Amino acid sequence: MSLLIEDYAMIGDCETAALVGRNGSIDWLCLPRFDSEASFAALLGDENNGRWQIAATDPKAEITRRYRPNTLILETRFKTKTGVATLIDFMYPCEKHPHVMRLVVGEKGTVEFESEFVVRFGYGESVPWVTSMPDGRLRAIAGPSRIVLQSSVPMRGENLRTRGKFSVKQGQTESFALTYSESWIPEPVEFAPESLLEGTEKFWKDWTSKCTIKGPYAEIVKRSLITLKAMTYEPTGGVVAAATTSLPEQIGGPRNWDYRFCWVRDATLTLLALMNTGYYDEARSWREWLLRAVAGNPRQMQIMYGIAGERRLYEVELPWLKGYENSTPVRIGNAAHDQVQLDVFGELMDAIHQARKGGLAPEKSGWALQRAFIEQLEEIWHQPDDGIWEVRSGPEQFVYSKVMAWVAFDRTIRSAERFKLDGPIEHWRKTRDTIHKQVCEEGYNSELNSFMRSYGAKEVDASLLLIPAMGFLPATDPRVVGTVAQVEKTLMKDGLVLRYDTSKANDGLPPGEGMFLACSFWLVDAYLMMGRETDAVELFERLLGLCNDVGLLSEEYDTEAKRLCGNFPQAFSHLALVNSACNLGRNGRPVDQRCDTEETAAGKKVTATAETT
């Protein structure tokens, strides 16, 4: 039986990541990068598709776990009738070859363990050739991939698996290490896994010590920031949306997507989350990744890119994997990469503007690129697009896309004025005003007193909650208040928010998905801007309660089954958590920073009405 998604924790080295189950099994690991083919794919199949389990042999063992404070070092504690021992899992950050280290430390009495090591390259399909090396290590090779396993306990081959039983006594440590390298280069040298534990702990504690967050939510924010750092591909600065592919938005359903890529949509939230908590180097790296990725012909702007800026993210299905809890198909790549989504222009311009305000680069840096993109947007902003939720049912005139087109012109104007950059500002003002007028006339339903999902529609979607945060209208505007009320009425269930009603939206897929966690955090922010502080705090703390026992969130939450669903851990959820915590605290308020206090196209000052706590 599959573990629940919340039964997993993540370890990583800032180039790839592994999911470790509560049962001591690594069921997902792509090597050497986040987007490489998985060598352990049991998460989306079964143990025959690759896993590495180290666990007490006693089926009644009491299991608890935690991260060492301020680190990504995972400790899983097994307590049996005969003793207590802890499994320590970690990856040494930014090493030449990816290493997965596993130490079993005896704490009391004696505990018997078993290790089962099953490598399957190519997303669980390719069985490697396994041989013993002269120094006692095991070598697994298939095509371009090689994994070397070293172990302090004897291992044996059995039915295309490698097994070993051992006992640990109080004060005793047994060690295991997996090292990946290309099959044609010299084999990596043997090393002592214990020697890297101290360096790994120092790396994470040094990094966490830079965090400036204070207040009652500081620890959960730090955990989210560590998670986001671990999901950053260190060589390029790109932040993957999730460490996994094809974890379902509804268990058993087909909404299973590959999220091991970088979305332009996350740009501004990422910058503000990092800058507001003291991580300017990471924010600068993300900005540079963003500008490199989108550089080129503005007509070829994509909504997402690979972790090094790759553009061809072709989607294919893997029929040999049965999917998480039989949720098929399993997909790699993402067909949405070639969709037209106008909102990404607004995100790009907002991110560049916020980076200038934060002093991440010289003020003129990126201005020529920005002007080229705004010229392209001027040609296409009035056209229908595929929207923020990447529906596969054809373009529509989505309201949020138009709002973000307004944001693109608004932030370009603000940068030009604030930093004295050249450009046709008055012309841009006219375009900005035209977009604003059109959205208010065609995107607003006076009978429902609410903006709608798209022009002429009768339904809302949760992206409309961002209208005040973007500065399009004040949070106290009756149309915004009415929109929030309509979201509460039609998209809320058990206190959480859906992206949109899949039963009413023709999005090309069967209806059904979980409550979208980032959208629920957006409602927290909207409440704050409206002055509904009590509602904001209550919802925020409800959302914190959905984190698993080690502080991780997936994309969505199933309120009926009371479990996480969707890819895991999810950067969008953790970014939203960090920014909502900052809005509630004193580390800078992203909603104020984004909408600013300058004049909007509506001619009104935009200020949040909620006081900081």
Average pLDDT value for residue range 71-78: 98
CA dihedral in degrees (242, 248, 249, 255; nearest 10)?
100
Instruction: Compute the mean pLDDT over every residue in the chain, rounded to the nearest whole number.
Output: 93
Q: At what angle do helices 571-584 and 517-530 cross, to 10 degrees?
A: 20
Per-residue pLDDT reduced to its tens digit, 550-560:
999 999 999 99
Categorize the per-residue pLDDT at 296 as very low, low, confident or very high, splitting at 50, 70 and 90: very high
For residue 465, the one-letter residue type is: L
Contact (Cβ atoms closer than 8 angstroms) between residue 568 and residue 244: yes
Average pLDDT value for residue range 358-369: 90
What span, in angstroms and rounded, lies between the C-alpha atoms of 43 and 5?
9
Contact (Cβ atoms closer than 8 angstroms) between residue 374 and residue 355: no
CATH number 3.50.50.60 is the correct assignment for the domain at 5-203: no
**Range with lowest mean pLDDT among 430-444, 541-555, 557-571, 599-613:** 599-613
Q: In 3-state terms, what secondary structure has residue 171?
A: coil
According to DSSP, the residues that pair with 183 across neighbouring strands are none
In a 13 Å sphere around the CA of 490, the CA atoms on its Cβ side amount to 23
pLDDT at 612: 24
Contact (Cβ atoms closer than 8 angstroms) between residue 370 and residue 345: no
Q: In 3-state terms, what secondary structure has residue 117?
A: strand
Q: Tell me how crowded residue 567 is: count the other CB atoms within 10 A of its CB.
A: 27
What whole-number percentage of the chain has pLDDT above 70? 95
pLDDT at 208: 97
Tokens of 500: 């949109």
Domain limits, the chain: 5-203, 210-595
Categorize the per-residue pLDDT at 601 as very low, low, confident or very high, splitting at 50, 70 and 90: very low
For residue 449, the one-letter residue type is: N
For residue 599, the one-letter residue type is: E
pTM: 0.94
Per-residue pLDDT reduced to its tens digit, 101-157:
999 999 999 999 999 999 999 999 999 999 999 999 999 999 999 999 999 999 888
463-474 in b/e burial notation, b at 16+ Cβ within 10 A?
bbbbbbbbbbbb
Topology of domain 210-595, per CATH?
Glycosyltransferase (1.50.10)
